[in-house]
Structure 1
């Protein structure tokens, strides 16, 4: 198939591209590199099935018109977005324009050319989990940040094209994803940041009291889920979760990361610092992925301990310290 991946030079995007190439598809990447990095896809640039890497903005309607007129895509995996919660609080306009308006422009092209859309949303749209059965797709949503609000608006737009036009679309809500190629600085994920600090012998800093929990999904499991939703018609018009089905408190995660302290010569300090956006914190996130297992025969394969080990090895050999 001919496949477009917006945000394909991003952390999750590059793993989606890798899997699509391995499956034999012709792939086009559109990324403005505001969050993605060329280095993430360096190994694919000479691949015969990577047809084009376009540095461009999903809000550039002229660019989109030219691209969709030139290539008859079968699927668009729409991953391009502003993803930082604090950035959305500081500058809601940019997040809304990228995540909601940008999605509208992509949807219009896909409607015109009859292209299936897989829309990458987020678990951050959910209200806190209230029991140990986990968050299903029917769980209440709560736009606790402009990022979550923008994603909810975009989700509704995407699903409206399924109902109004019969366009095959699916909304996916992966839980907190981590692994190799995730940024290890301030814009990175909690696992990557913790592991980098552990390897450097720096303090592991926890926002707030650390009792908040996360369901952490290894990136290759996430990419397998993302790609599979594009292949399957049975999830069209659906919202589908993906996660590990196990949550861990940030305090316990810090202890788990600190325990792998074979590089630093001194014990890693764990300390708590004031939360930068307590109003947008979700106290408990735990995924129920039963729907993905039932409809897609998908379930995670990499447990948290193995995923942290793989992430640590990648950060170490990539010299991202």
Structure 2
């Protein structure tokens, strides 16, 4: 029997792929999204799917709406991806990020507690301090909230885990590393891979903030979505924090060269918020392997190739 699933942020980049996986697996899915980051067009191919029960345009800050949805559908699992996700925006306007990411998560938790709905909370690798170990960042690595985005996510993580310990609510905090792939925005709010690919395809310069020596562990979105979904169906991760990443990092300079193929097409520009840059991010996903038997399937080169093909075919800007 398919589960009744609430997916917040389901019209977003990762949310869209999580929705696809849940629908492919035969679950009943309700998507809640205020479209501040997401796009309804991301869900176009699912709108006639019998498993997609409703797309609700609304905010997780609307307690009345949440109460009505939970009372009517009594969800088995809530995948909580809805959030403000932009580091720069959080520095310029911390209130919006705190309200969406911390208070919104509290409102979700209150409903989930009422109906014993499992919570899969999407956090971020941006909560971590820089990587200092060749084995990569595991879940015991120090956190460092270098932006209000990271601070809001750490606050929400602690609330999510407190509901496990205080009320016995099944919850899990997941920390995917930098995710990229088809359906990611290729404009200013997009990820570095999507932006670089779009510029390369249009013959434009690839701009790198700062020196470009900062490294990222880049996870292909379908691997990420599989990780997210599996966390909802495993009791082994309840009360846990779990990472997911490729296990390989690449300097932004090297990523740009991999995509552009020519250093003359690359330019360094002044960093907008250098104080919130994390110099080295490398994921250790051994806990995900141990508890979920999850590991990434798609290499960086293959993922970039798939993403480039999607953008070249007219993927959303």
- Cα deviation digits, residues 256-307 of structure 1 (max 9, x gap): 0112x9xxxxx86100000011000000000000000011000000000000
Contact 1:204-1:268 within 8 A present in 2 as well: no
Are residue 191 (structure 1) and residue 189 (structure 2) matched?
no
Residue of structure 2 equivalent to 1:11: 13
Instruction: Provide the C-alpha distance between the structure 1 equivalents of 2:26 and 2:74, rounded to a whole number of angstroms.
Output: 17
Are residue 309 (structure 1) and residue 292 (structure 2) matched?
no
Are residue 285 (structure 1) and residue 287 (structure 2) matched?
no
- Cα deviation digits, residues 62-93 of structure 1 (max 9, x gap): 10011001001100000000000000000000
Relative to 1, partners in 2 of residues 1:155 and 1:319: Cα closer, same or farther, differing over 3 Å? closer
Task: Indicate which of 146, 153, 156 corresponds to 1:154.
Answer: 156
Residue of structure 2 equivalent to 1:264: none
Instruction: Provide the C-alpha distance between the structure 2 equivalents of 1:65 and 1:214, rounded to a whole number of angstroms.
Output: 39
Instruction: Provide the C-alpha distance between the structure 1 equivalents of 2:80 and 2:164, rounded to a whole number of angstroms.
Output: 15
Instruction: Provide the C-alpha distance between the structure 1 equivalents of 2:191 and 2:79, rounded to a whole number of angstroms.
Output: 22
Instruction: Provide the C-alpha distance between the structure 2 equivalents of 1:319 and 1:298, rounded to a whole number of angstroms.
Output: 28
Give the paired residue count.
315
Instruction: Provide the C-alpha distance between the structure 2 equivalents of 1:161 and 1:80, rounded to a whole number of angstroms.
Output: 19
Instruction: Provide the C-alpha distance between the structure 2 equivalents of 1:4 and 1:38, rounded to a whole number of angstroms.
Output: 16
Instruction: Provide the C-alpha distance between the structure 2 equivalents of 1:227 and 1:319, rounded to a whole number of angstroms.
Output: 24
Instruction: Provide the C-alpha distance between the structure 2 equivalents of 1:163 and 1:72, rounded to a whole number of angstroms.
Output: 22
Contact 2:182-2:315 within 8 A present in 1 as well: no
- Cα deviation digits, residues 105-156 of structure 1 (max 9, x gap): 0000000111000000000000000021000000000000000000000000
Contact 1:143-1:149 within 8 A present in 2 as well: yes
Are residue 2 (structure 1) and residue 8 (structure 2) matched?
no
Contact 1:177-1:222 within 8 A present in 2 as well: yes
Residue of structure 2 equivalent to 1:28: 30
Residue of structure 1 equivalent to 2:104: 102
Instruction: Provide the C-alpha distance between the structure 1 equivalents of 2:292 and 2:268, rounded to a whole number of angstroms.
Output: 40
Residue of structure 2 equivalent to 1:90: 92
Are residue 76 (structure 1) and residue 78 (structure 2) matched?
yes
Query: What is the TM-score normalised by the length of structure 2?
Result: 0.98
Q: How does 1:150-299 map to 2 (within 5 A)?
A: 150-259=152-261, 269-299=265-295
Match of 2:280, SS state, is coil
Instruction: Provide the C-alpha distance between the structure 1 equivalents of 2:315 and 2:287, rounded to a whole number of angstroms.
Output: 39
- Cα deviation digits, residues 172-212 of structure 1 (max 9, x gap): 00000000000000000000000000000000000000000
Unaligned runs of 5+ in 2: none
Instruction: Provide the C-alpha distance between the structure 1 equivalents of 2:15 and 2:33, rounded to a whole number of angstroms.
Output: 10
Instruction: Provide the C-alpha distance between the structure 2 equivalents of 1:125 and 1:268, rounded to a whole number of angstroms.
Output: 34
Runs of 4+ in structure 1 displaced over 3 angstroms?
none
Unaligned runs of 5+ in 1: 262-266
Instruction: Provide the C-alpha distance between the structure 2 equivalents of 1:168 and 1:303, rounded to a whole number of angstroms.
Output: 32
Contact 1:202-1:268 within 8 A present in 2 as well: no
State the 1:319 CA deviation. Answer: 5.1
Query: What is the TM-score normalised by the length of structure 1?
Result: 0.97
Contact 1:2-1:73 within 8 A present in 2 as well: yes
